[in-house]
């Protein structure tokens, strides 16, 4: 559930802090008042792409922040764990996104820096937008398929089918690729084998190449290191080194300590310095000894480094890219050995996958038909409440040419708004108002199986009014029993049913326009005035009376 939303310098809005309750929330305001700012803030937090034009003119940055609470944050925590982000604390998810005029945008999730793709993945889990164009989506078979799979709980089966379809397409593409390959000449085969052997000699791994570079640096700079180590060793413990000078100083320190016992500690420290100098001199001598390489070893390191640099120039800078090139060359050699045999194997694999796919697709079609019929039956009852006294719904599955990524058929929702008329495709019979009501009926039914907690409806009640408008509001409020519903509406019948009511206003009395968002308390005079405005005239007594009746009922 969305609990808190804070907006700063977004479009015409300077700042707003909004606290939400569960259930049905309505947002109203004049056309052009800035309700899109409200939607824009939620869109930004859901991971929508935008540009810096969203920043309020004259401001350096805009910022949107939200706090969401989940009764069971397990699924969200699982996603956060996979993203290596902090988990929810006591079910609370905190999202923050800022856009800056001259700096990169910044996203944080639970206080930790995150990416836009992280925000988008989470957005799919916690919020769903339904805009004015939503009913038009219902005319597309892909949208109908999505609704039917959701209602029938067929998403897992549909995903399993898609994965197998990808395997099948991959096999077919490999067949086409192999068919297009020509037979390699003997000298080409010898060259590829030599390249593979050269790569294999390197015994490639991230660790071995890192060690090779260290060895190469030591070998190539060995002479210079040897001279420096020798200079340091002689300077510390040689005949004329620091150690000889310190020895005479130690004797002087011991004599001073005999004269004044309080100087004993200083004498001990000087003795420690002598011991440390001896050890340093010895260590540098050992370094010099370790830099004496056998000629064969140095030659081997230099040759391996040359081979590694040569492989990187040919196949890519990384170990992974070189190994991938090696595997591809090995595959080409293997395929040359038995192209026909490889083709037969791939054909057998593709045929097996196709047979399995046909079975999966057939079962999916039958389940989708059954799910669609049940959904249409429920929608028919719902449409009765939405003003279609004799409306009917149905479904048919249209067979497609070949196996597609979704199956072998697509649904076609059928509708008859009037008695005596046959069922026809929605595209042939439904007006915009009828489409809106059909979509709302389906959304109401699917709300029980939809796991997304926050649903945003942007003027989905357009093209309806009167008594039907009231029923539409009741349905949206009913969805709020199981979800948090935020509805932007121009219908007073809908607005009166909100548990919370927010008013968006544009103020142009100053030097620049500004948008304000304020909460209208239930049964307050301000809410009555807003409903009266939506009814036609906030000053009219009849409109005010009607507004109070809407609130009271």
Residues 268-289 pLDDT 10s: 888 888 888 788 877 777 776 6
Distance CA 372, CA 378 (A): 10
How do strand 424-425 and strand 407-416 relate by DSSP bridges?
antiparallel
Q: What single DSSP character describes residue 489? A: -
Average pLDDT score over residue span 376-398? 86
Name beta bridge partners: 399: 409
DSSP for 375-440, written as a single string? HHHHHHHHHHHTT-TT-EEEEEEEEEEEEETTEEEEEEEEEE-STTPPPEEHHHH--HHHHHHHHH
Among 298, 316, 337, give the residue marking a domain's end.
Answer: 337
Residue 338 has pLDDT above 70, yes or no: no
For residue 137, being part of any structural domain is answered with no
Average pLDDT score over residue span 295-309? 81
For residue 261, being part of any structural domain is answered with yes
Helix (H, G, I), strand (E, B) or coil at 462: coil
How do strand 454-458 and strand 2-10 relate by DSSP bridges?
unpaired
Distance CA 453, CA 483 (A): 5
Q: Which tops the pLDDT comparison, 448 or 458?
A: 458
Task: Please enumerate in sequence order all residues whose Cβ is within 8 A of that of 274, keeping only pairs 6 or more positions apart, or say none.
Answer: 243, 246, 247, 250
Helix (H, G, I), strand (E, B) or coil at 448: coil
Q: Give residue 536's pLDDT band: very low, low, confident or very high (50, 70, 90).
A: confident
Helix (H, G, I), strand (E, B) or coil at 403: strand
Distance CA 137, CA 160 (A): 25
Residue 423 has pLDDT above 70, yes or no: yes
Full strand arrangement of the beta sheet holding 392-404: 392-404, 407-416, 424-425
410, 397 in Cβ contact below 8 A? Answer: yes
Q: Give residue 305's pLDDT band: very low, low, confident or very high (50, 70, 90).
A: confident
For residue 54, being part of any structural domain is answered with no
- pTM for this one? 0.61
For the chain, give the percent of residues with pLDDT over 70: 92
Residue 403 has pLDDT above 90, yes or no: yes
Distance CA 417, CA 441 (A): 14
Among 337, 369, 390, give the residue marking a domain's end.
Answer: 337
Note down the domain range covering 258. 186-337
In this predicted model, what pLDDT tens digit does every residue of 24-71 receive, in sequence order?
999 998 887 778 888 889 999 999 888 888 898 888 999 999 999 999
For residue 332, being part of any structural domain is answered with yes
For residue 192, being part of any structural domain is answered with yes
- Give the residue from 284, 283, 281, 304 showing the smallest Cα distance to 220: 304
Average pLDDT score over residue span 179-200? 80
For residue 284, being part of any structural domain is answered with yes
Distance CA 479, CA 482 (A): 6
Structural domain count, the chain: 2
Sign of the C-alpha dihedral computed for residues 342, 348, 350 and 352 taken in this order:
negative
Angle at 162 between CA 365 and CA 483, to 5 degrees: 80
437, 472 in Cβ contact below 8 A? Answer: yes
DSSP for 539-553, written as a single string? T-HHHHHHHHHHHH-
For residue 114, being part of any structural domain is answered with no
Among 280, 304, 337, give the residue marking a domain's end.
Answer: 337
Residue 184 has pLDDT above 90, yes or no: no
DSSP for 113-150, written as a single string? E--HHHHHHHHHHHEEEE-TTHHHHTTSHHHHHHHHHH
Residue 232 has pLDDT above 90, yes or no: no
- Left, alpha or beta for 64 (phi > 0: left; psi -120 to 50: alpha)? beta
Task: Please enumerate in sequence order all residues whose Cβ is within 8 A of that of 479, keeping only pairs 6 or more positions apart, or say none.
Answer: 24, 443, 444, 447, 455, 485
For residue 210, being part of any structural domain is answered with yes
pLDDT value of position 134: 62
Tokens 């995150």: give the residue.
Answer: 114
Residue 419 has pLDDT above 90, yes or no: no
- CA torsion 263-266-270-272 (nearest 10°) is 120
């Amino acid at each position: 559930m969305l609990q808190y939303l804070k907006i700063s310098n977004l479009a015409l809005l300077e700042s707003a802090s909004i606290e939400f309750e569960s259930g049905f929330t309505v947002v109203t305001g004049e056309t052009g008042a800035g309700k899109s700012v409200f939607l824009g803030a939620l869109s930004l937090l859901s991971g929508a792409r935008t540009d810096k034009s969203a920043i309020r003119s004259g401001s350096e940055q805009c910022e949107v922040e939200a706090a969401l609470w989940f009764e069971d944050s397990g699924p969200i925590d699982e996603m956060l764990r996979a993203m290596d982000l902090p988990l929810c604390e006591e079910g609370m998810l905190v999202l923050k996104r800022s856009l800056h005029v001259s700096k990169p945008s910044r996203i944080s999730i639970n206080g930790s820096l995150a990416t836009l793709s992280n925000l988008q993945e989470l957005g799919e889990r916690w919020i769903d937008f339904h805009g004015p164009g939503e009913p038009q989506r219902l005319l597309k078979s892909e949208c109908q398929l999505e609704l039917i799979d959701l209602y029938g709980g067929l998403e897992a089966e549909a995903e399993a089918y898609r994965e197998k379809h990808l395997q099948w397409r991959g096999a077919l593409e490999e067949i086409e690729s192999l068919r297009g390959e020509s037979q390699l000449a003997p000298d080409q085969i010898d060259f590829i084998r030599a390249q593979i052997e050269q790569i294999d000699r390197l015994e490639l791994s991230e660790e071995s190449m890192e060690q090779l570079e260290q060895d190469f640096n030591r070998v190539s700079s060995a002479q210079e290191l040897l001279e420096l180590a020798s200079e340091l060793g002689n300077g510390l413990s040689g005949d004329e080194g620091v150690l000889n000078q310190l020895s005479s100083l130690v004797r002087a320190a011991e004599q001073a300590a005999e004269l004044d016992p309080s100087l004993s500690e200083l004498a001990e420290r000087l003795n420690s310095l002598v011991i440390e100098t001896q050890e340093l001199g010895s260590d540098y001598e050992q370094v010099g000894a370790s830099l004496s390489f056998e000629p064969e070893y140095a030659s081997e390191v230099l040759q391996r480094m040359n081979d590694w640099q040569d492989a990187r120039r040919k196949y890519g800078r990384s170990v992974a890219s070189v190994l991938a090139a090696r595997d591809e060359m090995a595959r080409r050699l293997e395929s040359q050995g038995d192209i026909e045999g490889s083709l037969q194997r791939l054909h057998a694999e593709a045929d097996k996958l196709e047979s399995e796919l046909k079975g999966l697709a057939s079962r999916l079609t039958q389940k989708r038909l059954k799910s669609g019929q049940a959904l249409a039956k429920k929608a028919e009852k719902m449409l009765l409440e939405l003003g279609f006294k004799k409306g009917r719904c149905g479904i048919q599955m249209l067979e497609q040419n070949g196996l597609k990524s979704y199956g072998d058929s697509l649904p076609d929702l059928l509708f008859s708004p009037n008695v005596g008329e046959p069922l026809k495709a929605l595209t042939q019979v439904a007006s915009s108002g009828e489409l809106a009501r059909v979509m709302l009926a389906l959304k109401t039914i699917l709300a029980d199986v939809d796991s997304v907690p926050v649903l945003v409806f942007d003027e989905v009640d357009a093209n309806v009014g009167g008594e039907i408008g009231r029923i539409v509001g009741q349905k949206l409020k009913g969805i709020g029993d199981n979800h948090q519903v935020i509805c932007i509406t121009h219908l007073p019948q809908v607005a009166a049913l909100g548990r919370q009511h927010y008013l968006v206003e544009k103020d142009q009395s100053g030097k620049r326009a500004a948008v304000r968002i304020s909460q209208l308390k239930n049964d307050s005079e301000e809410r009555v005035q807003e409903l009266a405005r939506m009814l036609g005239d906030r000053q009219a007594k009849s409109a005010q009376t009607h507004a109070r009746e809407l609130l009271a009922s």
